[in-house]
Amino acid sequence: MSTPYIPCLDLGSYINGTEEQRKDFSDQLGRAFNDSGFVTITNHGVSQELIDKLYETIKAAFSLTREQKSQYEKPELAGQRGYTSPGKETAKGAKTADLKEFWQIGQEVTDGDPIKAQYPDNVILNEVPEFNQITREIYKKLESNGKYLLEAIATYLGLPMNYFEKHVHNGNSILRALHYFPIDNPDAMPDDAVRAGAHEDINLITLLIGASADGLEVLTRNNEWLPIKAHHSDIVVNVGDMLQRLTNNKLKSTTHRVVNPPRELMKTSRFSVPFFLHPRSDMDLTSLDSCIDAEHPKVYSDMTAGEYLDERLSEIGLKK
């Protein structure tokens, strides 16, 4: 159930609705992204059965031994494909690495687009073959939902509805399967060790489906941490830094974190699956003229999505 500050929107009313319903959805989405930067989405077409299968296979994948998982770690890919072990990713500005391990699945180009040469192949998990099939299916469904949301955002911004399409077709999007592992000895941890330190996402928008436990919190404008409560079947959507740059802060890339559980639950795992919707690397993130005026002077330097991604991957320790 969404909080009073994080609206819950019906994506079906946009996909299948009347012109008036689509406009209403776009306005509500834009207002939320202008305010908190977060919404929850229902009626998104991803079945509960598929979500349950997704989490079942993810748990199986992370239950493999450390030796089994380590063979799928590819440091030369900066964590963008395959497995990344604990201790590798640190929130920007933090000193202690996040308490997590993860697996990343990227774009698979099937239409002859030359951009295929820019993307490494996905790493295939042999021990849990259904993991490969189900994560690909989820990837495509969340990518499709994300494109609808970007259409609605473009409408809110007064842009052509298909403004983002050429930028996100075969874009550099990532599906991340996350395991926040049990904390067996909390007294031995550094004081600042958390499951995911306070951060903003790099990409255009993020779609998070069916996290297995609470813990996600958003920093409000009043500088207070607000827990995000969502049904297991809902999708939580937030603005990333690339969209914030493009709109010169009109749409907010809100700081968020994943806190450690209460002490009595520290020996339990938390799983989540965010989809980071990225554009193609050549997308120009120069702030839109329509988002710049005397009261809102231009904040950001000009750069492409690829340049910004490289900068941020270095800041969080995944790219050397």
pLDDT tens-place string over residues 277-289: 999 999 999 999 9
CATH class of 8-208+218-315: mainly beta
Instruction: Assess whether pLDDT exceeds 70 at residue 212.
Output: no
Contact 100, 114 (CB under 8 A): no
User: Structural domain boundaries of the chain?
Assistant: 8-208+218-315
Q: How does pLDDT run across 189-204, given as a tens digit for each residue?
A: 777 888 888 899 999 9
Q: Can you give the pLDDT at residue 213? A: 66
Q: Can you give the pLDDT at residue 3? A: 45
Q: What percent of the chain has pLDDT above 70?
A: 98
Q: Can you give the pLDDT at residue 74? A: 93
Instruction: Assess whether pLDDT exceeds 70 at residue 133.
Output: yes
Q: Can you give the pLDDT at residue 62? A: 98
> Which of the two residues, 115 and 35, has the higher pLDDT score?
115
Instruction: Assess whether pLDDT exceeds 80 at residue 188.
Output: no
Instruction: Assess whether pLDDT exceeds 60 at residue 1.
Output: no
Q: How does pLDDT run across 54-79, given as a tens digit for each residue?
A: 999 999 999 999 999 999 999 999 88
275 confidence band (pLDDT: 50, 70, 90): very high
Mean pLDDT score of the chain, rounded to an integer? 92
Q: How does pLDDT run across 6-39, given as a tens digit for each residue?
A: 899 999 999 999 999 999 999 999 999 988 899 9
Instruction: Assess whether pLDDT exceeds 50 at residue 293.
Output: yes
> Which of the two residues, 273 and 211, has the higher pLDDT score?
273
Of 130, 223, 209, 204, the residue nearest 177 (C-alpha): 209
Q: Can you give the pLDDT at residue 229? A: 77
Q: Can you give the pLDDT at residue 36? A: 85
Q: Which of 1-5, 47-51, 169-173, 241-245 has the least mean pLDDT?
A: 1-5
Q: Can you give the pLDDT at residue 189? A: 79
